[in-house]
Amino acid sequence: MHLTGNTILVTGGGSGIGRGLAEAFHRLGNTVIIAGRRRDLLDAVTAANAGMAAYTVDMSDRNSIEALAGAVAADFPSLNVLVNNAGIMRGERLADLHGDLATAEETIATNLLGPIRLTAALLPRLMAQPRAAVIAVSSGLAFVPLAATPTYSATKAALHSYAVSLRHQLRDTPVEVIEIAPPYVQTELMGPQQASDPHAMPLEAFIEETMELLAAEPAGGEVLVERVHPLRFADRSGRAAEMFSALNPG
């Protein structure tokens, strides 16, 4: 995709990878809109990035997504890039659920149904642009799951599959479909301790490498920093069982 001259909507743009991508695109002179649940986080980002716009949205709620799509389409008719980044990641002990699937249901609604709904709502507008892109932020865990977060891992695997199918269906349209699959990154996705975990990739380094790969138009539409390669290519390398054991000791 072209990295300049775009109007870009980034969900989950108030923190973490979403904020990092939004600010990187903003520095390149794009018109950037961020969306997320927490107004305080969104306001902090827009205050630090003059000209960036923000909308609140609950990506687990169909009506909230439709309202976001309508507002952004009306206010930014040149919208041509959607970054589906918003997501939640929570631990689950499956043997202890006793029929309580609230975490699983919210994770599926936010991480999978949310991007599908928002893509469907905005796709007609994107297809009307001379060039456009849908970017799905999945995870290295789409390829080797973290057993402690089974529904999160499953939604990211499903999002990867959805992106592959969407790319195929849109191959003769102006809409490019790109998948960004992050490794373990220093964000607060699983709590404040993750942001300083030395085992996680520093967020700034992840964003810098990701933007370089986007500029190089990655083969197959997948943006894969070097650090995620062991997970992404675990099956190809014959190390899937080894990688699963490393992620899930005991």
pLDDT for 250 beyond 90: no
Could you tell me how far CA 111 lies from the centroid of its own chain? 9
Question: Using one digit for the tens of pLDDT, what is the confidence trace for 146-184?
Answer: 999 999 999 999 999 999 999 999 999 999 999 999 999
55 token code pair: 């909308």
pLDDT band at 218 (very low <50, low <70, confident <90, very high): confident
Given a contact cutoff of 8 angstroms between Cβ atoms, the answer to whether 173 and 180 are in contact is: no
Reported in sequence order, the residue ranges of the chain that DSSP labels E, i.e. its strands, are 7-11, 31-36, 53-56, 81-84, 132-137, 175-180, 222-223
Segment 55-80 mean pLDDT: 98
Alpha-carbon dihedral 94, 105, 120, 42, rounded to 10 degrees: -100
Domains of the chain from N-terminus onward = 7-247 (3.40.50.720)
53-56 and 81-84 strand pairing = unpaired
Does residue 162 carry a catalytic annotation?
no
Active-site entry in 55, 152, 162, 184: 152
Given a contact cutoff of 8 angstroms between Cβ atoms, the answer to whether 54 and 33 are in contact is: yes
Pairwise CA distance, residues 161 & 123, whole Å: 18
Give the 3-state secondary structure of residue 93.
Answer: coil
pLDDT at position 217, please? 83
Pairwise CA distance, residues 4 & 137, whole Å: 20
pLDDT for 16 beyond 90: yes
**What pTM does this model have?**
0.97
Given a contact cutoff of 8 angstroms between Cβ atoms, the answer to whether 181 and 138 are in contact is: yes
pLDDT for 54 beyond 80: yes
Mean pLDDT over the full length of the chain: 97
Pairwise CA distance, residues 33 & 14, whole Å: 11
pLDDT for 19 beyond 90: yes
Give the 3-state secondary structure of residue 59.
Answer: coil
Question: Using one digit for the tens of pLDDT, what is the confidence trace for 72-114?
Answer: 999 999 999 999 999 999 999 999 878 789 999 999 999 999 9
